[in-house]
Amino acid sequence: MDAFARLSLVAQASVDVAEPHPVRALEAALGAGPFAVVILFISPEVDMDRLAGRMADRFGGAPVIGCTTAGELSGSGYTEGEIVAVGLPAAHFAADVLLIPDLSVLERETLIGELIRRRQSLARQRAGWQGEFAFLMVDGLSVQEDALASALASGLGPVPLFGGSAGDGTRFKQTFVLHGGQALQNAAVLTLVRTDCRVKVFSLDHLVPTERRMVVTGADPARRVVRMINAEPAAQEYARLLGKDPAQLTTFTFAAHPVVVRIGGKHHVRAIQQVGENGDLVFFSAIDEGVVLTLAEPRDMVAHLASEMAALSAKGRPEVILACDCILRRMEAQEKQKTGAVSAILRENRVVGFSTYGEQLNSMHVNQTMTGVAIYPPDAP
């Protein structure tokens, strides 16, 4: 077992998937608690049903939630083949966990009402605590993140939301969320958190829009599939704009040459997952006919990440940064041989979390970002 630094505010640990008793090992490493909630980021190599079945009466009876990943962020930076645990101690955090069990029948008004009641109840319980955020983990193959984030934001009001779509490495076959001792698909887990700590929800990316634009002229929005761009087969036209042969398109190409849309005066990535049937392009997030896509180019991700982390520490260093980091960022780091440099920055800044199939920020489902919350000591300015 590789338990990494336990900080005074937040308990953290990680184990290799080969550990024969992973839950027992994580429980011992996190300590006695008590915890408001325990969060697990789980390698897709793990047998999720078996792991979920071991959760009864563990971690002092705290709610245990989690999801599968496209890679983990632990005390070593970028890692794979691990289970990473984060325990938020009840001395500084209060949490209310809401399971959304079936994303195919999202009852928006009912969900909004439930969120308002739970948010108000948590505020009454900890009236003197001013820090708050909502953390979402959602099935990354559900194709429901856009509608879900929009509905949740309506019920959360001023509470900032961030989250990530569960991953399956680079296989894109099955993703799970963990709740109540069950491994679930087509589901989401939302955790409302109130704390006496200062918190800052953030989102960053290192992409700059270019002048090269294209229009989606044929799409299947329900499946996030684009068939035609500029009235030409989608993959063929995207490749032409890059000066590449369509046969050369890979996940690394999509990571290095993302497309963005302009919403509310800001650009948001609409990341491409893969080339589908008949030269279609399959996206990670919502897409529709008539949307104008702009090619973007990346800045140096190491320098940019270092700058953004420094900004989060400008008024005091966070005790921990809980982060959802897009799989495409990890792939870009690998392709450009910058994994070590990125991992060093993540490690130095106490970043823990997972690589995702997409991120949620307030009412938006986004891609190719690092989105998360910086948690500072209670007496931080």
Segment 293-310 shows an average pLDDT of: 96
Rounded Cα gap, residues 348 and 184, in angstroms: 34
Segment 50-57 shows an average pLDDT of: 90
The answer to whether the CB of 137 falls within 8 A of the CB of 66 is yes
Residue 262 has a pLDDT of: 87
Q: pLDDT by residue (tens digit) across 330-349?
A: 999 999 999 999 999 999 99
Q: Residue 136 pLDDT more than 50?
A: yes
**What are the extents of the domains in the chain?**
11-204+302-375, 217-298
This prediction's pTM: 0.93
Q: Residue 2 pLDDT more than 90?
A: no
Closest CA to 185 of 249, 100, 110, 127: 100
DSSP-based three-state secondary structure for 260: strand
Residue 380 has a pLDDT of: 59
Type of residue at 109: E
Q: pLDDT by residue (tens digit) across 271-291?
A: 899 999 889 999 999 899 999
Q: Residue 311 pLDDT more than 80?
A: yes
Residue 56 has a pLDDT of: 83
Residue 266 has a pLDDT of: 83
Rounded Cα gap, residues 145 and 259, in angstroms: 19
Q: What is the average pLDDT score of the chain?
A: 94
Angle, helices 301-312 vs 327-335, to 10°: value is 130
The answer to whether the CB of 269 falls within 8 A of the CB of 368 is yes
Q: pLDDT by residue (tens digit) across 11-36?
A: 999 999 999 999 999 999 998 889 99
| Paired strand residues for 219 | 226
Q: pLDDT by residue (tens digit) across 165-191?
A: 999 999 999 999 999 999 999 999 999
Residue 153 has a pLDDT of: 94
User: What are the two backbone dihedrals, phi and then psi, of residue 103, each rounded to the nearest 5 degrees?
Assistant: -75, -15
Segment 62-75 shows an average pLDDT of: 97
Sequence-separated (6 or more) residues with CB below 8 Å from residue 68: 42, 43, 44, 46, 48, 166, 167, 168, 175, 176
Instruction: State whether the Cα torsion 355-356-358-359 is positive or negative.
Output: negative
Q: Which residue has the higher pLDDT, 79 or 33?
A: 79
